[in-house]
Amino acid sequence: MAISTGSAGVGAVKADINVTPMIDVMLVLLIIFMIVTPLIAAGFKATLPKGKNLDPRPEGDNEVVLGIDEAGRYFLNGRPLPEGTLGDQLRSIFSARTEDKILYFKADNHLKYAKVQEAVETARRSGVRVMAAITEPNKTGLFQADKDKKEKK
Amino acid sequence: MAMSTGSSGGVQSDINVTPMIDVLLVLLIIFMITQPLSRMAMDVQVPPPDETVTTKTPPSQIVLELADDGGYAINGQPVPKDQLDTQIHAIYDQRPAKLLFIKAGANRIYQDVIEAMDVARGAGVQIIGFTPQEANKPK
């Protein structure tokens, strides 16, 4: 007969779907949601201001991030702070901190400056020396280059 | 055709998606890693905690004011917004100390303050400082 060796085994129809890639994707999605959910649950909602001349500030492990959301509520490292406790919290963090006195500052762009000033005042009395105002780049480099080209034409 | 090369018998009718998923996963991981690295910020010096030191200001320092009515002023002289860049350039090109103080009215929006700092940094200012609250009160 024409049936050669081996071909019978390979030609057998596989009836079940290969679910391994699907499970991979599901697991990654699960991990993403596990990371993102606490941030959403904290209720921090703010649009960051935009700027052009910025310094890269990669996120590190041991840093202090102060957020002020649209409603003017304070968030320290992602957790909402009760009214009036910001100074004490910052003082206890920065008095024990030896590496740097940088406070990362993430505030909504429509906030009144009075609110920001209040935070600055509290921070400087609590031992903060530098505030890094987290800002979103106005236009990303690639798109900016495209735009410049279009404008030249 | 590509089908004829198989020669092992059964025709595979579905697309092999495994390599595509591999690539997508790697892309996902790359974006997850680069996302925290792409954070941008502007450093601002905070006034020192003891207030007595800050009340005396040396005459050579430059203060950019954002008035409550929406105007801008450098050391008390009003400057239109579109001339801020050239004005700051003119001042700081000759100065060795690239230090600027920002003083904003309570009703100004944070975005305006950031924009002003942005313009200043673009015009050659290297260190920006916030002024203490006492300095912002009308005398």
A89 touches chain B (CB under 8 A): no
A75 forms beta bridges with A67, A80
Helix, strand or coil for residue B64?
strand
The parent domain of residue A132 ranges over: 50-137
**pLDDT band per the 50, 70, 90 thresholds, residue A11:** low
Count of structural domains, chain A: 1
| pLDDT of A52 | 87
Q: Which residues of B touch A87 (CB under 8 A)?
A: none
Q: What pLDDT score does A99 carry?
A: 80
Average pLDDT of the segment spanning A105-118? 89
Instruction: Establish how many alpha carbons lie within 13 A of residue B102's alpha carbon, considering only the half-sphere containing its beta carbon.
Output: 28
For position A142, what pLDDT does the model report?
Answer: 47
Do residue B67 and residue B101 come from a single domain? Answer: yes
Could you give phi then psi for residue A76, rounded to 5 degrees? Answer: -110, 120
B101/B126 same-domain check: yes
| Tally of structural domains, chain B | 2
Average pLDDT over residues A108-121: 89
In degrees and rounded to multiples of 5, residue A93 shows phi and psi of: -75, -50
b/e code B74-107 from CB counts within 10 Å (16+ = b): beeeebeeeebeebbeebbeeeeebbbbbbbbee
| B115 shares its domain with B53 | yes
CATH of the domain at B113: 3.30.420.270
In angstroms, the CA B108 to CA B98 distance is 24
Q: Point out the residue among A7, A57, A113 whose CB comes nearest to the CB of B105.
A: A113
Decide if A17 is inside a domain. no
Whether B52 and B120 map to the same domain: the answer is: yes
**A145 — pLDDT class (breaks 50, 70, 90):** very low
Tens-place pLDDT, residues B9-68: 677 777 887 888 888 888 888 877 877 777 888 889 888 877 655 555 567 788 898 888
State the smallest CA–CA distance between residue A153 and chain B in angstroms: 25
Query: Which CATH number belongs to the domain containing residue A96 in this structure?
Result: 3.30.420.270
Mutate to test the interface with B, among A100, A111, A113, A140 (most CBs of B within 10 A): A113
User: Residue A35 domain-assigned?
Assistant: no
B28 and B52 in a common domain: no
For residue A41, the model assigns a pLDDT of 54
Domain extent, residue B12, equals 2-37
Of A41 and B48, the one with more pLDDT? B48
Residues B29 and B96 grouped into a single domain? no
Which residues on chain A are in Cβ contact (under 8 Å) with B40?
A: 51, 54-57, 134-137
Task: Look at residue B139 and tell me whether its pLDDT is greater than 60.
Answer: no
pTM exceeds 0.90: no
pLDDT digits (tens, 9 = 90+) for B96-135: 888 899 988 888 898 889 989 988 988 888 899 988 877 6
CB contact under 8 A, A113 and B46: no
CB contact under 8 A, B109 and A109: yes
Closest CA to B113 of A51, A138, A132, A121: A51
Looking at residue B56, its pLDDT comes to 56
Instruction: Report whether pLDDT(A6) > 60.
Output: no
Res A3: pLDDT? 45
* Contact criterion met (CB < 8 Å) for A134 and B21: no
| pLDDT (tens digit per residue) in A70-107 | 888 888 887 888 878 888 888 888 888 888 888 999 89
Q: What is the per-residue DSSP string for B22-55?
A: HHHHHHHHHHHHHHHHT-EEEEEEPPPS-HHHHH
Whether A15 is covered by a domain: the verdict is: no
The answer on B82 and B26 residing in a single domain is: no
Residue A25 resides in a domain: no
Residues B57 and B89 grouped into a single domain: yes
- Is B54 found in the same domain as B119? yes
